[in-house]
Structure 1
Amino acid sequence: MSGTRFDPARIFQTLSEHSVDYVVIGAMAAVLQGAGLTTTLDVDVTAATDEANRERLAAALRDMDAKLRVPDPEDAVEIPLDAQMLASASAMTFVTRYGPFDLLSTPAGAPPYDDLRARALRVTRFGVSILVADVEDVVGMKRATGREKDAAHLTTLVEFLKDRTRSRDSLG
């Protein structure tokens, strides 16, 4: 699947078709809100951890032909995609027929799922309604990772937040 074209629209549509309760995190969350990050080439999400939602998520992953991503994309590993498997790991990275998909159960620097979800913004893209983490939460998660690529995004995200605050303040 290494030659798979990244198609976030199909990823979000598949999650929607299965009624998965999730919040987009990472760079994609910021991009979907208009932050000026370079386009990201994966979708990162965190999802509700109840059994029924894990079953819906597993079904969506099966529909996307998800396989566990390993360093060499040609060696992606087939694993049982069910609620039990999804509950067993704090982070799983997949290659799907629509591109890379990362699932984090407890992202570093993120508030508990219910709080993250409550602060998330609902955007309509690709013909579906998508919950995306507020950029303030994205900043907290990126700071917590300590990764160089996330540090590079922080300047842009902080400027985006300042602009958003100025816009809100000017509206009264």
Structure 2
Amino acid sequence: MSQMIDAPLERLRAAVRRTQELALSRAGTSLGHEDADDVGTIGTDAALGFDPFPLLEALHRNGARAVVIGQVAGIMHGSAELTGDLDLLWDGAPAHAPALAAAFVSVDAQLADETGTAMATHPDSLLRPKVQFTSPGASGDCCTPALPWGDLRVREILDRAITAVDPGGLSVHYASREDLIRMRRAIGRPKDLRRAAELDSFASDRRE
């Protein structure tokens, strides 16, 4: 796993500040996490109070190796598009579930299955292919490689993850730019294709 120092996390901190300022200056939308297929969660009430850092710090503190995917990872790679959710990918191994559950418990997160039915914040609950979580600072999906991703080899995405480290010692694992583009295109929603094109343009800029 490659490691980068500071800059990706600084980009994320700056984006969180902009998100909070934007959300505070507008009226409520009555839209939530599941209503964001086009505009993204920045256009929903999920952006209110958005701050993924308490959960990211809890994952680090509890030794839970979860990889950030979705638009938070995109922001860490330099995307200009804001978001209001945090999506995670982990290996789904039962032996690693207790650390992940402990991180969620420590930030008062609530879990639900794909239908929105509440579940106990317990290691066994996290073994599903996808679990939804809601915490005071961030909501999103927590996925395992068992979730269908087309022909993507999701376990390899975990192996290729990058680690960003800030001066205070916080380590955050996040998907590589190339893997994030592949995941975006595999899902294929309007916001995913838009964000994949933006990430792909970064590589074009470097080639010119």
TM-score by length of 2: 0.67
| Alignment-derived partner of residue 32 in structure 1 | 76
Unaligned runs of 5+ in 2: 1-44
CA 1:13–1:150: 2 relative to 1, 3 Å: same
| Alignment-derived partner of residue 164 in structure 2 | 123
Match among 102, 105, 122 for residue 141 of structure 2: 102
List 4+ stretches of structure 1 deviating above 3 A: 1-4
| Alignment-derived partner of residue 92 in structure 1 | 131
Deviation at 1:126, TM superposition (A): 8.3
CA 1:126–1:64: 2 relative to 1, 3 Å: farther
CA 1:33–1:3: 2 relative to 1, 3 Å: closer
SS in 2 for 1:162: helix
| Alignment-derived partner of residue 104 in structure 2 | 61
CA contact (8 A) 1:143 1:150 kept: yes
User: Deviations 1:62-108 (Å, cap 9, x if unpaired)?
Assistant: 112122369xxxxx764212221111x21112111112131011352
CA 1:116–1:7: 2 relative to 1, 3 Å: same
Deviation at 1:2, TM superposition (A): 6.8
CA contact (8 A) 2:112 2:118 kept: no
RCO higher in structure (CA 8 A, sep ≥6): 1
Q: How far apart in 2 are the matches of 1:133 and 1:7?
A: 19
CA contact (8 A) 2:112 2:119 kept: no
SS in 1 for 2:164: strand
CA contact (8 A) 2:47 2:85 kept: no
Aligned residues: 159
| Alignment-derived partner of residue 21 in structure 1 | 65
Unaligned runs of 5+ in 1: 71-75, 168-172
Deviation at 1:4, TM superposition (A): 5.8
CA contact (8 A) 2:69 2:87 kept: yes
CA 1:59–1:91: 2 relative to 1, 3 Å: same
User: Deviations 1:4-61 (Å, cap 9, x if unpaired)?
Assistant: 6111111110111111011111111121122x23122111111122223111111111
| Alignment-derived partner of residue 81 in structure 1 | 121
TM-score by length of 1: 0.80
| Alignment-derived partner of residue 203 in structure 2 | 161
SS in 1 for 2:201: helix
SS in 2 for 1:20: coil
Match among 178, 182, 188 for residue 136 of structure 1: 178
Structural RMSD (CA):
2.7
Q: How far apart in 2 are the matches of 1:25 and 1:82?
A: 22
